[in-house]
């Protein structure tokens, strides 16, 4: 099984949902492709949509909602082998 | 000669030494927040010291070079990549025509300065190419870069050879916690003595909204101002004063809650009491502090501030000597 661990591209506050009352963008088991938003990263008055870096299935979400992240911290792990996607 | 912006990064702007002499008319100096790193990148490349560069905050851009050009980086550690292959920071690198220059995520510091041989060519406004985005002045159409932009380059009179690198001793060193030196005043008498002391005792954390206009700090105890009848012309909040000029580096604390240090795109005046001013020698450093990193403010005398300014000048002179 090939996996990709996606990391924060810049430092900021990570949001797993588009608004406090919404469902998370992705959960373990979600199918994603390179246009799928996996979360928002907020810094310098900007909320940036973070897209999945590969197509596949989310195995694990490693960053919590509203967690302060440094650039390079893990966001999530994607199974890119295509078996269950 | 042109460079095409594929991805602009988060807030990438053209900056140079800035436009001084217009702040009294409301036009702030702008220019690179970390002037030393901007100058170091230019000097390394053999450019005029304040040639226009790209200031890349927290995330680098992705740029396609339509001509072969040499570049050099200064400031924050983001590994440059040519067509995906890593290159060294603080070194003159040649980007072949048709290649894409991109950057790895930031490992330390906050702002990378990308100098190109000759410098970026945008029209001078009030004597500077710097972008003042809040006033839509200077830079490329007065704004941060966008996908699809074309950047022109001034033809270089001379350029250093590829491979030339900045001596180790002249490279910046970054941490996760810093001290910023402050000359207290001129309105700190408006704070209670306890609040004045606590401001310098506590550890403050950089707010995520920190940008070129100002750096906001959080996490400390709110500061109490002494109660008083507002003078004519001042607002009702205890942190208000009759409007005054704001120096770059001045610290205001609206309603006593979150201190803001004004930087090079700041407004020139307003009605908040300034409880101190970060010394000029430490303003470069502010530009390299990431949101959520920690800062302690340290009070110093004017003599100490001038001594630090002298040290900064000597550091710049050492860069010129080593690279001139």
Confidence check: pLDDT of B215 > 80: yes
At A84 the pLDDT is 46
C-alpha–C-alpha distance, residues B218 and B294, integer Å:
9
Q: Which two tokens stand for residue A46?
A: 């900007």
Contact A10 B106 (CB under 8 A): yes
Contact B291 A44 (CB under 8 A): yes
Q: What is the tens place of the pLDDT at every residue in B99-108?
A: 999 999 999 9
**Which of the four pLDDT bands, split at 50, 70 and 90, describes residue A45?**
confident
C-alpha–C-alpha distance, residues B98 and B118, integer Å:
19
- Percent of chain B clearing pLDDT 70 (strictly above): 100
Contacts of A47 in chain B (CB under 8 A): none
At B35 the pLDDT is 98
Contacts of A67 in chain B (CB under 8 A): none
Closest chain B residue to the Cα of A72, Cα to Cα: B105
Contact A44 B106 (CB under 8 A): no
At A68 the pLDDT is 95
Class of the CATH-defined domain A3-79: mainly beta
Confidence check: pLDDT of B79 > 80: yes
Between residues B158 and B30, the one the model is more confident about: B30
Residues 6+ positions from B284 with CB-CB distance below 8 Å: B33, B34, B35, B36, B37, B312
- The DSSP bridge pattern shows strands B250-252 and B294-299 to be unpaired
Contacts of B10 in chain A (CB under 8 A): 10, 43-44, 46, 48
Task: Report the pLDDT averaged over residues B312-321.
Answer: 97
Contacts of B105 in chain A (CB under 8 A): 7-10, 71-72
Closest chain B residue to the Cα of A8, Cα to Cα: B105
Give strand ranges (E) for B78-198: 80-82, 85-86, 93-95, 100-103, 108-116, 120-121, 150-153, 177-184
Interface of A with B in 18-77 (CB under 8 A): 42-46, 48, 68, 70-72
Domains in chain B (CATH in brackets) are: 2-170 (no CATH), 177-314 (2.40.100.10)
Mutate to test the interface with A, among B134, B210, B288, B290 (most CBs of A within 10 A): B290
At A83 the pLDDT is 55
Task: Report the pLDDT averaged over residues B9-22.
Answer: 97
CA–CA distances in Å: residue B255 to residues A58, B23, B88, B190, B235: 45, 25, 46, 12, 11
- The C-alpha of B251 sits at a distance from chain A's nearest C-alpha, in angstroms, of 19
């Amino acid at each position: 099984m090939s996996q990709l661990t996606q990391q924060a591209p810049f430092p900021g506050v990570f949001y797993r949902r588009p608004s406090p009352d919404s469902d998370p963008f992705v959960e373990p088991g979600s199918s994603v492709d390179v246009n799928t938003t996996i979360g928002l990263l907020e810094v310098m008055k900007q909320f940036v949509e973070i897209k999945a870096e590969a197509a596949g299935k989310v195995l694990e979400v490693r960053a919590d909602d509203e967690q302060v992240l440094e650039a390079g911290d893990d966001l999530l792990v994607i199974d890119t082998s295509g078996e269950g996607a | 000669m042109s460079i095409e912006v594929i991805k602009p990064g988060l807030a990438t702007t053209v900056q140079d030494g800035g436009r001084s002499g217009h702040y009294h008319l409301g036009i702030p100096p702008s220019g690179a927040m970390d002037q030393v790193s901007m100058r170091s990148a230019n000097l390394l490349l053999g450019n005029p010291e304040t040639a226009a560069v790209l200031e890349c905050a927290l995330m680098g851009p992705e740029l396609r070079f339509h001509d072969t050009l040499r570049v050099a980086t200064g400031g924050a550690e983001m590994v440059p990549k040519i067509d995906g292959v890593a290159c060294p920071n603080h070194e003159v690198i040649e980007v072949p025509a048709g290649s894409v220059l991109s950057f790895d995520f930031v490992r330390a510091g906050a702002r990378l300065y990308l100098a190109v041989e000759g410098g970026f060519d945008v029209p001078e406004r009030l004597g500077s190419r710097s972008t003042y985005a809040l006033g839509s002045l200077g830079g490329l159409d007065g704004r941060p870069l966008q996908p699809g932009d074309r950047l022109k380059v001034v033809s270089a009179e001379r350029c250093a050879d590829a491979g030339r690198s900045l001596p180790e001793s002249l490279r910046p060193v970054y941490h996760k916690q810093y001290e910023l030196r402050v000359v207290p005043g001129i309105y700190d008498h408006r704070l209670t003595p306890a609040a004045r002391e606590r401001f310098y005792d506590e550890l403050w954390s950089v707010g995520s909204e920190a940008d070129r206009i100002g750096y906001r700090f959080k996490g400390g105890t709110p500061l109490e101002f002494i109660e008083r009848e507002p003078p004519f012309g001042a607002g009702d909040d205890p942190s208000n004063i009759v409007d005054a000029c704001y120096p770059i580096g001045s610290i205001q604390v609206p309603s006593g809650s979150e201190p803001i240090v004004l930087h090079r795109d700041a407004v020139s005046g307003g009605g908040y009491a300034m409880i101190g001013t970060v010394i000029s020698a430490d303003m470069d450093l502010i530009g390299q502090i990431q949101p959520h990193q920690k800062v302690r403010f340290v009070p110093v005398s004017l003599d100490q501030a001038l001594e630090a300014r002298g040290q900064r000048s000597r550091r710049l002179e050492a860069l010129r000597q080593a690279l001139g």
